[in-house]
Amino acid sequence: MKKGRTIALLPILVFLVLYLGLGLLFEYGMKIPMGFYNIPIVVVFLIALLVACLQNRSLSFDRKLELMGHGIGDKNIVTMILIFMTAGIFVGVVGRSSAESVAYFMLSIIPARFAVAVLFVVSCFVSTAMGTSVGTITLITPIAVAVATASGVSLPLCIASVMGGAMFGDNLSFISDTTIAACQGQGCEMKDKFRENFAIALPAAILTLVLILVISLRSEIAPMELPPYNLVQIIPYVLVLAGGIIGINVFVVLLIGIVSGAIIMLATGAIPATELLASMGAGAAGMFETTMVAILVSAICALIREYGGFDALLYGIQKVFRGKKGGQLGMGLLVGAMDIATANNTVAIVMANPIAAQMAQNYGISRRKTASLLDTFSCIFQGVIPYGAQMLVAISAANGLGQNVSAFQIIPNLFYPFLLLISSLVFIYIIPEKK
What residue spans define the domains of the chain? 6-429
Buried b (16+ CB within 10 A) or exposed e, 358-390: ebbeebebbbbbbbbbbbbbbbbbbbbbbbbbb
Residue 240, pLDDT score: 73
Burial of 174 by CB count in 10 Å (0-12 exposed, 13-18 middle, 19+ buried)?
middle
Distance (Å) of CA 286 to CA 86, 225, 398: 11, 31, 11
- Coil, strand or helix: which one is 384? coil
Residue 312, pLDDT score: 82
- Which of the residues in the chain have pLDDT under 70? 1-2, 27-28, 33-37, 76, 80, 95-100, 102-103, 106-107, 129-131, 174-175, 221-227, 229, 241, 244-245, 247, 250, 290, 342, 351, 354, 432-435
Contacts of 80 (CB under 8 A, 6+ apart): 134, 294, 344, 389
In angstroms, the CA 336 to CA 342 distance is 10
Q: What is the dihedral of CA 243, 155, 205, 237, to 10 degrees?
A: -10
246-254: which pairs have CB atoms within 8 A and are 24 or more residues apart? 246/129, 247/129, 247/130, 247/131, 247/175, 248/130, 250/83, 250/130, 250/131, 250/132, 250/135, 251/82, 251/83, 251/86, 253/130, 253/135, 253/139, 254/83, 254/86, 254/87, 254/89, 254/90, 254/135
H-helix or E-strand containing 232?
none
Distance (Å) of CA 92 to CA 111, 383, 400: 29, 26, 9
Residue 417, pLDDT score: 94
In angstroms, the CA 163 to CA 134 distance is 9
What phi and psi, each to the nearest 5 degrees, are found at residue 268? -85, -5
Query: HSE (CB half, 13 Å, CA atoms) of 178?
Result: 33
Contacts of 53 (CB under 8 A, 6+ apart): 61, 64, 303
- Coil, strand or helix: which one is 221? coil
Residue 98, pLDDT score: 67
- Tell me the residue type at 99: A
Residue 202, pLDDT score: 93
What phi and psi, each to the nearest 5 degrees, are found at residue 270? -70, -25
41-65 confidence digits (pLDDT tens): 788 889 999 999 999 888 899 999 9
117-163 confidence digits (pLDDT tens): 888 988 887 787 666 788 788 878 888 888 888 777 889 999 999 99
Residue-by-residue DSSP string for 31-50: --TTTGGGS-HHHHHHHHHH
Angle between helices 115-130 and 75-109 (to 10 degrees): 150
Q: Is 220 left (phi over 0), alpha (psi -120 to 50) or beta?
A: beta
What phi and psi, each to the nearest 5 degrees, are found at residue 247? 105, 20
